[in-house]
Amino acid sequence: MTFRSLKTGIFFLVSTLVLMLGAVYFGITILVAYIVEDEIIEALLKDTAREIRIEFEETGKLPRPTLSTVQFYPADKALPVAVEMALKENPNLSEVFTETDQHYHVLPLKLDENYQGLLVAEVSSLLVVTNFSTSIMLLFLLLFIPIIGLAIYTVYRISRFIVKPVTDIGHELRQLQLDKSLPLSRSVRELDVFINTLEFTLGQLQDALHRERDFTRDVSHEIRTPLSVIKNTLTLVETRQWRDSDLPDLKSSVESLNQTIEVLLSLARSESLDVRSVNLKDLVEKELLSLSEAIEGRRIEVTIEIAGNTTIDINDRLLSVLCRNLIENAIQHAARPELTIQYQKPYFSFRNALQGDIPADLLQPGVKSSSSEGIGQGLYLISRILKRLNMTYRIKSEAGFFTFEVLLE
C-alpha cells in the first residue's frame, strides 16, 4: 500500500497499529480472565477435597462437602449423564461442557484403598466471565473507545509534528526568490543533512542563474564594438568600392566576437581556463588597434609604459577582455583625451583624468557615473574576470586622476 501523503501514511499505519494492539490486549485480557476463573474453581475444588480427606481420616465417615455445588461420587455411584459420557471418551478430563450450559469440574479423590471416587462440581453459577460477558464487553467498549479515540488523536498530532518541518520547508521554497539567498529553517536536527543538500543545490542553481544573467549583460556589452566595426565596414562598402583593408577588418571583428563569446561562455559555465605565456605589451597594442577608430574619434593620446619583453602566465583571452574594457572605460569617461597604460612590477595600471565623482560601488552591475552613457557593465565584468583569475586590484582617485591597478603575480 502506498500513500501520496506522508502525513496520511503515518496516521493510517500508526492508527492501525494502535487498533491492532488494542484488540490483542483485549483478547489477552479475556483469555487471562478465563484462566484465572478456571484456576480459582480448581483451587476451590482442591480445598474441598483436602477438607473431605482430613475429616474422613479423623472420623472414618464421608463428610458432606462445604460447597453446595460440589458432590462426591463413589466409584459405585452413578455420575451425571453428561459427565459419565464425557469420561468414557476421555477418562483424564477435568472439565466437562454440556449443551444445556452446565459446566462441570471433575477431580479424582481417593480416601483409602477401598473408598475412592470422583469429586464433581457443577460450577455454572461460578463462571463470572461467561455469565457477565455481555456486561464486560460493554464496559470494555465504554473504556476502549475513548482511549482509542485519544490514541488516534495523539497519532494525528504526532503525524502533523513529524511532517510539519517538511511542509515548512515546502512553504519556504514556494516563497523563495532565486536571485536572493534565503537560509531554510532548521526546526529539527534530523533534517540537517536534507536541508544542507537542498541549500547546496539551491546555491548552485542561484549561481547558474546569476552566471546566465551576467552572460546576457556581458554579451550585450562586449559585442557592441566588433558589431559596430562590422556594421560600419559594410555601410562603407555599400557607398564605395571594396577595399583590401575591409576583409582583414571584418575578419578581425569576427575573430574578436568569437573570442569574446568563448570567454564569456567560460565565465558563465565556470569552466577551467588555459594558461599560457603572454607578452603584455603586444596584447595591449593589439587591443588598442582594435579600438583605434574610437581612440581616433576622441583623439585620445595613449602612452604605453611597458617593457617589450614583459611576459606573464595568464589566460590571454580573459586578459584581452580585461584590457579592452579598461581602455573603453578611459575612452568614454576620461576628462581629458589622454590615457596611460603602465606596468611597474607587480602592478598593471590604467590611468586617465577623472571626470566627476566615482560611485562607491563602482564595480557592481548597473552602477555608472552620472556622465556615463553605458549600461554599467564594463567594470562589473572586469571585477568578475579578476575574480576568475584570482587576482586582486585597487582603485585610486587622487589629484584629478582615476587609476585602476591590477596586481599581476
For 136-145, 341-350, 368-377, which range has the lowest pLDDT when averaged over its residues?
368-377
150 φ, ψ (degrees, to nearest 5): -65, -40
pLDDT at residue 374 tops 60: no
**Which pLDDT value is given to residue 186?**
65
DSSP three-state, residue 407? strand
Mean pLDDT of the chain: 78
Query: What H or E segment, with its residue span, contains residue 106?
Result: strand 103-110
**Which pLDDT value is given to residue 367?**
43
Structural domains present in the chain? 6-139 (no CATH), 178-272 (no CATH), 273-407 (3.30.565.10)
Distance CA 134, CA 146 (A): 19
> CB within 8 A of 96, min separation 6: which ones?
82, 83, 86, 87, 103, 104, 105, 106
Write out pLDDT tens, residues 26-83. 888 888 888 888 888 888 888 888 888 888 877 877 777 877 788 888 876 778 878 8
pLDDT at residue 372 tops 50: no
Write out pLDDT tens, residues 391-409. 888 888 887 888 999 998 7
Q: pLDDT band at residue 311, thresholds of 50, 70 and 90?
A: very high
**Which pLDDT value is given to residue 356?**
65
**Which pLDDT value is given to residue 348?**
94
Write out pLDDT tens, residues 277-308. 999 999 999 989 888 888 888 888 999 999 99
Q: Running DSSP on this structure, what letter comes out for residue 374?
A: S
pLDDT at residue 378 tops 80: no
pLDDT at residue 237 tops 80: no
**Which pLDDT value is given to residue 87?**
82
pLDDT at residue 139 tops 50: yes
Sheet with 103-110, side-by-side order of all strands: 70-74, 116-122, 103-110, 95-97
- In this structure, the number of other CB atoms found within 10 A of the CB of residue 348 comes to 25
Residue 311: which of 283, 286, 288 has the closest Cα? 283
pLDDT at residue 249 tops 50: yes
pLDDT at residue 320 tops 70: yes
**Which pLDDT value is given to residue 406?**
92
**Which pLDDT value is given to residue 245?**
74
**Which pLDDT value is given to residue 371?**
46
**Which pLDDT value is given to residue 271?**
59
Q: Would you say 358 and 394 are in contact if contact means Cβ atoms under 8 Å apart?
A: no
**Which pLDDT value is given to residue 342?**
94
Distance CA 27, CA 33 (A): 10
Q: pLDDT band at residue 343, thresholds of 50, 70 and 90?
A: very high
Preceding amide of 346 cis, omega within 30: yes
Residue 184: which of 206, 160, 192, 205 has the closest Cα? 192
CA 30 to chain centre: 48
